[in-house]
Structures are given as structure tokens and as C-alpha cells.
Amino acid sequence: MNVILGVGGGIAAYKAAELARALMEHGASVQVVLTAAAEEFIRPLTFAALTNRKVITDLFAARSAEETLASSVEHIRAAQENEVLVVAPATADLLAKFAHGLAPDFLTTLYLAFTGKVILAPAMNTNMWNHPATRDNIETLAARGNYILPPDEGLLACGTTGAGRLPDPARIADAVMTIGHPRKDLDGEVLVISAGPTQEAIDPVRFISNRSSGKMGYALAAKAAARGARVVLVSGPVNLPGPYGVEVVSVRSAAEMRDAVMTHLEEATIIIKSAAVADYYVANPPPQKIKKTAARMSIELDPTADILAELGRKKGDRLLIGFAAETQNLVQEGRRKMETKNCDMVVANLVTREGAGFESDENEVTLVLRTGESIQVPRMSKFEVADKILDQALKLRLALYSRT
């Protein structure tokens, strides 16, 4: 996807560098445009290094007729060659110029010439955000089809607390990829995806958990939503922003995860269980903190409910995809899990491999399919792996259940 990232002169301009990086991680090609005020906050060099492209800062960069012809009027070309324009931070000033059709610089001129999708992420002081002029401009821009990502509430750089913070760059990138995604091949599907670890209480302050970061499940949810699906993401405790357009159901224990997944089973057309659910739990944790003593102690553990096996029994013609984090015999273990749990696909990965699996931004997996095939997915970002899994899911459903 070709994306123009317009950066306004707000204190949050530094976060646009992270946004550029996040968009590149999603596989987007990113052209950055800075306003003159943005250049007061962050240098073009930062963006040039991150995107491997020249940063545009000047409407009148071409100094002669020849140069103008050679660049074929850069703002018009940029408008034609890109599918999405995201402006972050969108200052009060830029919102006013966009709403009123003013075009004194490159970004505002490009905005008027642009026919693709426009996403605006405003960030400013709370009073500026609440000012009737800004409110009117936002209303006008939204009514004209611009996507507005409302600012978060919190402590602002000016020292006040309220609405005005730029949302997490990862969340903006996610919104850009979802809104701009050209392929809506999961339109009409309902995906229930589980992600992250579970926490099983030992006492009120301690728990048993695992190293799952939830990144793979969150990437799957983001990509499925981008491809047009309705997505319910049942998530254990993780440190990730909820993907754009995804309904997140937060749970803590294996028992809570089981209940949440089963609640949404009926409406699901595809179920992906990527959570790393605890196999054992403490059935009756004490209500008070266990005191330290010099004596050896042991904890009695009981097995948790097998969510995947229950889904396998109840799934009907829904597509069921499980994950197998293995330390050896990848395909063999994947196939065994597929048979015993009645899955249609098992995504097997070697968690011992350096730079892939738990906590990593990349993954390298083998897709074990009910049709008998197994497909190697070489190392790539978890977002790209997510797309491969969803591609195979659609093919597999056609082969197994001949639904269109």
C-alpha cells in the first residue's frame, strides 16, 4: 500500500517517526511530507532514514520550468500515486485549512488534489480541541468522508489533563492499514480469535503465566479486520493496543477465556485459537497472600478445561485453527494436535528458534492442514504471517466445507 504521511507542527510530531516505522513494518511504502512548523519539531533526516525516501517539505522546491516539468508537479503526482493520506499529528491549523480549502503549502495543496482515503489524527491542547472552531472543522471534515481518529485522553505536554493526545502510533498504523486495505475478501465473516497468555492465581498477588506476548493473535485480528471481517478478540493480559475496528474481550484466567470464547462461538464462522492457555491452575487459591517461611512449599495444580478440544467437538462446519508451540518434531506434533482436537489447521512453530515465536515481531511457522498438506512459511513479520494464515483459511474452507 502506498501511503503519504503528513506531519503537522505539533508537540506530538516526534511520534510520527514511530508511525512511519510502524507503517513500514506493515509492508507499506511511505512518503513523508512535513509542514514548515513540523520541521521546527523534527528534522526530515529522521524520516528519510526510516523510509529510505526523500522527505517533501517545500511546495516550491522546483526552481525552474524544467525542474517543474521533470518532477511533473510533485503534489499532483504524489496525490495520484498514493492510496492513503494520513496526517499525524493533524494540528488545529491543518484541520482549519483542510476544512476551508486553503492551500498555502505542500501538504494542504496535496490534500485538495488527493482522491484516496484521508485519515486525520488530531493532537493538541484540550481547549484547542474543544474550541467551537475546531469542533466545526472536525464535523465538516468527517461529513466529507475523512476518517477522524479521535485523540486520547491523558496528561498533555502543556501540563493539563484531558483530550488531545495523539493515539499510540501502532494503533494509527493499524487503522491506516485497515481503512486502506484494498482486498475485502473476509467481508461477511465473523472471526473469534484468542490471544496472549492466561494468568492463574496462586494467591491474591501471585500467578502462573507464560511468555506469550499476544503479538501473533493481535496481528491476525488486525489483518482479518482489514480484510473486512467482524473480529472478536478474546485476549489474555498483554501489553498491546486493541487493533482498529476489533472488539476486544479482556480476560485473565483460562476459565474466563473458555467462557468468553464459548459465548461467541455461535456467531463465529472462523475460530483461531492462538492464545497460550495455562494447562494447569490452582483450584482454590487462598484469599490472603502466602507468607514466606524457611520451609519448602509445593503447590497443587489441577488441569484446566481444554478449550480447543471443546471447540473441536462443538464447531460444526466452522473452520477451527489451533496453534502448537513446540520445542521439537514440529509437523508430527502439529498433525497429532489437529487429529486429537479436530482442528482444520494447526499453525506449528518452534518456540526455541532465535528471533521467532514468543515475544518476537517475526515468526516462522508450518501450516499443517486437514487436507494432508503442510506449508512452510519462512520467517517474516507476524502481520505477513497472519495474511498467509488467512489466505490458507479461505482456501481450506472452500476445499473442506465448499462454502463461498
Ligand X SMILES: Cc1cc2nc3c(=O)[nH]c(=O)nc-3n(C[C@H](O)[C@H](O)[C@H](O)COP(=O)(O)O)c2cc1C
124 interacts with ligand X by CB under 6 A = yes
123 part of the interface to ligand X, by CB under 6 A: yes
- Smallest distance from ligand X to CB 170, Å: 20
Q: Of the candidates 147, 175, 216, 165, which has an alpha carbon nearest to the alpha carbon of residue 358?
A: 216
Residue 69, classified by CB atoms within 10 Å of its CB into exposed (0-12), middle (13-18) or buried (19+), is exposed
243 binds ligand X (CB under 6 A): no
Give the residue from 131, 262, 271, 116 showing the smallest Cα distance to 189. 271
Whole-angstrom Cα distance, residue 9 to residue 88? 10
Among 4, 5, 8, 304, binds ligand X (CB under 6 A): 8
SS3 271: strand
**Between residue 29 and residue 58, which ones bind ligand X under the rule CB under 6 A?**
35, 37-38
Please, what is the minimum distance in Å from the beta carbon of residue 123 to ligand X? 5
Which amino acid, one-letter code, is at 74? E
CA distance 246 to 218: 10
Task: Number of residues interacting with ligand X: please give it, by CB under 6 A.
Answer: 15
Establish if 16 lies at the interface with ligand X (CB under 6 A): no
Cell triple for 249: 474481550
Q: Does residue 91 touch ligand X according to CB under 6 A?
A: yes
Q: Any contact of residue 11 with ligand X (CB under 6 A)?
A: yes
* Nearest by Cα to 259 from 249, 248, 245: 249
Our finding on whether 387 is near ligand X (CB under 6 A) is no
Which CB atom, from 126 or from 374, has the smaller least distance to ligand X? 126
CB 247 within 8 A of CB 231: yes
* Using rule CB under 6 A, residue 151 touches ligand X: no
- Rounded to a whole number, what is the distance in angstroms from the first to the last CA of the chain? 27
User: Is residue 93 close enough to count as binding ligand X by CB under 6 A?
Assistant: yes
The residue (of 14 and 280) whose beta carbon lies closer to ligand X is 14
Distance in Å, CB of 141 to ligand X, minimum? 14
Q: Which three cell numbers stand for residue 229?
A: 471481517
Query: Does 10 interact with ligand X (rule: CB under 6 A)?
Result: yes
Provide, rounded to whole angstroms, the least separation between the CB of residue 4 and ligand X.
Answer: 15
Taking the C-alpha atoms of residue 5 and residue 84, their distance in angstroms, rounded to an integer, is 9
3-state class (DSSP) for residue 366:
strand
Decide if residue 20 touches ligand X (CB under 6 A). Answer: no
Give min distance, CB of 89 to ligand X, in A: 6
Residue 252: which of 306, 199, 193 has the closest Cα?
199
Choose one: 53-61, 88-96, 170-178, 201-209; the region binding ligand X (CB under 6 A).
88-96
Nearer Cβ to ligand X, position 91 or 199? 91
Instruction: Find, among 233, 170, 222, the residue nearest to 385 by Cα.
Output: 222
Rg (CA), the chain: 24
SS3 category, 396: helix
161 or 376, CB closer to ligand X?
161
CB of 74 or CB of 93, closer to ligand X: 93
Classify residue 168 by its DSSP letter. Answer: P
- Nearer to ligand X (CB atom), residue 123 or residue 368: 123
149 binds ligand X, rule: CB under 6 A: no
* Residue number, 94 or 240, with CB nearest to ligand X: 94
Residues marked as catalytic: 158
Nearest-approach distance from CB 117 to ligand X, in angstroms: 21
Question: Which of 22, 92, 191, 261 contacts ligand X by CB under 6 A?
Answer: 92
Of 118, 159, 162, which Cα lies nearest the Cα of 138? 118
Amino acid in position 32:
V
Minimal distance in Å, beta carbon 165 to ligand X?
A: 9
Residue type, 308: L
With contacts defined by CB under 6 A, name the span among 6-14, 185-193, 212-220, 379-387 that binds ligand X: 6-14
Q: Give me the residues that bind ligand X (CB under 6 A), please.
A: 8-12, 35, 37-38, 91-94, 123-124, 128
